[in-house]
Amino acid sequence: MQQQVLADTVRVAVHSSDELTRAGLVSYLRHDRRLSLTETAREADVTVVAAEVANASTLGLLHRLAEDSGAEPDTMNFVVVVGRRWEADVSAAVDRGMRAVLSRGSFTAAEFAQTLVAVAHGGGSLPVPLQGALMEQIRVIQREVLAPRGLSASGVNAREVDVLRLLAEGWELADIADKLGFSERTIKYVLYGLMKRLDLRNRAHAVSYAIRAGLI
């Protein structure tokens, strides 16, 4: 039983320029047998970063910690503990490995532990205001960057969606071509390009992908 507990332990590194804050966070770790303290992000499953104000400097710190660990930023698991307020670009923070944000002083030891375990297993947690900010950034990118180029956040363009929708409805390629005003050769090219780009095996796989992704 003891070996199983050790095998499932989440290794946590804590980074803070304020020693009192670091000591408090470390003390929380010692209340939960699922967690163990490690000294560097290189050895950690999750790295906790404490900042009084989360801003551009915090993003730079996340990047440096990822570099020091020898990992790509998007493979990191950072939990950011904020003292006063959040001023950083939310999507940029996610790109740099941020997976959860906690407000210092408003969470319990149990909530802290649960967040660390969830992040270590692929989860995440953002306060409602930051979720809203992230959604707004996604909407702006879709409206101002992707849509004018006929693209979507899924990487599938409008023509490809039309072809996939008609395929899902059981139409033959010749009929799809006639309905959309293209040659059958063009429709085949559209499908080939989509399947190659997304590593889809065949047309059925492409339709299945489109359904799962909510495209059709």
- The rounded distance, in Å, linking the Cα atoms of 162 and 26 is 54
The number of C-alpha atoms within 13 Å of 184 and in the hemisphere containing its C-beta is: 5
Tell me the pLDDT tens digit for each residue of 115-139: 999 999 888 888 878 878 777 777 7
Model confidence at 154, pLDDT cuts 50, 70, 90, reads low
How many C-beta neighbours within 10 Å does residue 185 have?
10
Tell me the pLDDT tens digit for each residue of 97-117: 889 999 887 888 888 999 999
DSSP class of 189 = H
DSSP class of 152 = -
Residue 195, burial from CB neighbour count under 10 angstroms (0-12, 13-18, 19+): middle
- The rounded distance, in Å, linking the Cα atoms of 96 and 5 is 30
DSSP class of 198 = H
Q: pTM, whole model, 2 decimals?
A: 0.63
Q: What is the CA radius of gyration of the chain?
A: 23
Q: Which residues contact 195 (CB under 8 A, 6 or more apart)?
A: 201, 202, 203, 205, 206
Model confidence at 176, pLDDT cuts 50, 70, 90, reads very high
pLDDT at 151: 61
pLDDT at 143: 67
